Structure 1
Amino acid sequence: MSLDKTVPSADEAVADIRDGASLVVGGFGLAGVPIALIDALAHRSATALQVASNNCGTDGWGLGVLLEQGRIARVVASYIGENKEFGRQYLAGELEVELTPQGTLAERLRAAGAGIPAFYTPAGVGTWVAEGAMPWRYHPDGSVAVSSSPKEVREFEVDGQRVPFVLELSLVCDFGLVRAAKGDRHGNLVFHRSARNFNPLAAMAGRTTIAEVEELVEPGDIDPDDVHLPGIFVHRVVELTSEQVTAKHIEKRTVRTGP
């Protein structure tokens, strides 16, 4: 069997993503977002998607494109932030949202890739995260339609004191979509600075992980010590065009005025 995991295009790479599929998507804000894969998915018909990502892009960019098309049914995220449509759909009862502490979300993804079914964390103890009643979906009239259930809380001894921790489940998804600065045909990936963010974790948590890469190189061209994510976690690799590589948005542009 060939170890060459490259596919000709993003369209072909996402062709088997069907209605109701769960996706874990890399990126933080607009840094390291797999834009080409998301755009390819936006041109297909899959709907009722369940998405796990730090946030849901911005209005008209990233996952915000799928959101505006009404293609996302549920989101597990730690931040609503700059996406007005995300907030509108959530409050209008059109979208189910499981807000999760950012570090907890990261560990749920890492645990999924490591084969760990659950773990204990102090994040969220004493809040709705642990006690339940977190609004996941609203009725159009503003009342709560679906809320979270209570989670197991257990005390462990830490530095001589009994400290409560909440049990969180790992988060495995059908597909992982990530973006890397460099990748080889075997799927070994290198990320650029802050674009590393959730991408390695998202790749680990996907049963089938698809990576778009800005630069495709041959196996052996990446020093093993420079590999951020080994190819064992990656199943398909798409080389981006020069136009796709440069198509990057800035979430918040700050311009300094003159002295």
Structure 2
Amino acid sequence: MIDKQWPSAADAVADIPDGASLAVGGFGLSGNPIALIEALLAQGTTGLSVVSNNCGVDDWGLGILLNARRIRKMTSSYVGENKEFERQFLEGDLELELTPQGTLAEKLRAGGSGIAAFYTQTGVGTQVAEGGLPRRYAPDGTIAVASPAKDVRAFEVRGERREFVLEEAITTDFSLVHAALGDRHGNLIFNKAARNFNPLAAMAGRVCIAQVERLVEPGELDPDRVHLPGVFVHRIVEVGSDIEKRIERRTVRPSAGSGTGEV
């Protein structure tokens, strides 16, 4: 399909079923595909397994799905800024696969590139490799599900023998991402730090749904500026440049005579 534009976020996510796996872009609250997340919330999809760097905050980003108990499992590298996340995990309502941040990025990239697995030094000598990290707690606080041990092998690198742990790639049923610019063929340009995990999440989804602030005609984007080619994108929705964007905490330098640097 050459023209990948869809009329609305609701239409674009309508076929995401209960129990689907999702790769979702964003870092903190930067680059969150909030229109797609809100559309998914509105249609009532539940039992989701989500791969994303974090889970938003209590009332924004993926946190709104978590608050509605629509997520059964998170694969993340950072789980702060969200009290509900903490509560659900510690009480055994949420499964968590905690993954080092760089490893998570590479697992998504590998999945999108057709690479089944890779070896990395990150996590060698820790529970990441040896297993035993809590993934789900029982109601009594004991560990109901723990992470398994992973294959560790030694390789010679630059004349030195080192150990590496095997990490499997990640692919998901769908991916949800946010970009600043896109064309109807699905080519995307991201804005500065909002790029973060978005291209990697897009690559990992078998069906990638992108929300863009501005949609242009094919040929209007400079090919040298395209961060993600349209081959990875299957549906694109224009949400407008005035879409709400939040940050976790805002701090500024105090003005003259001010006693605090926080607003």
Q: TM-score range by the shorter chain?
A: over 0.9
Q: Distance in 1 between matches of 2:197 and 2:139?
A: 33
The alpha-carbon deviation at position 256 of structure 1 amounts to: 2.5
Q: Secondary structure at the match of 2:31?
A: coil
Q: State the AA in 1 paired with 2:45.
A: A
Q: Distance in 2 between matches of 1:228 and 1:255?
A: 31
The question of 1:241 aligning with 2:260 is answered no
Structure 1 equivalent of residue 143 of structure 2: 144
1:1-259 map, 5 Å: 2-244=1-243, 247-259=244-256
Q: Secondary structure at the match of 2:88?
A: helix
- Cα offsets for 1:71-90 (capped at 9, x unmatched): 00000000001111111111
The alpha-carbon deviation at position 242 of structure 1 amounts to: 4.8
Q: Distance in 2 between matches of 1:54 and 1:43?
A: 23
Q: What percentage of residue pairs aligned between the two structures are identical?
A: 65
Q: What runs of 5+ residues in structure 2 fail to find an aligned partner?
A: 257-263
Q: Distance in 2 between matches of 1:218 and 1:203?
A: 21
Q: Distance in 2 between matches of 1:9 and 1:44?
A: 13
Q: Secondary structure at the match of 2:96?
A: strand
User: RMSD across aligned C-alpha pairs, in angstroms?
Assistant: 0.8
The list of structure 1 runs, each at least 4 consecutive aligned residues, that deviate by more than 6 angstroms after superposition, is none
Q: What runs of 5+ residues in structure 1 fail to find an aligned partner?
A: none
TM-score between both structures, scaled by the size of structure 1 = 0.97
Given that 2:212 and 2:240 are in contact with CA atoms closer than 8 Å, whether structure 1 keeps it comes out as no
The total of aligned residue pairs comes to: 256
Q: Secondary structure at the match of 1:6?
A: coil
Q: Secondary structure at the match of 1:254?
A: coil
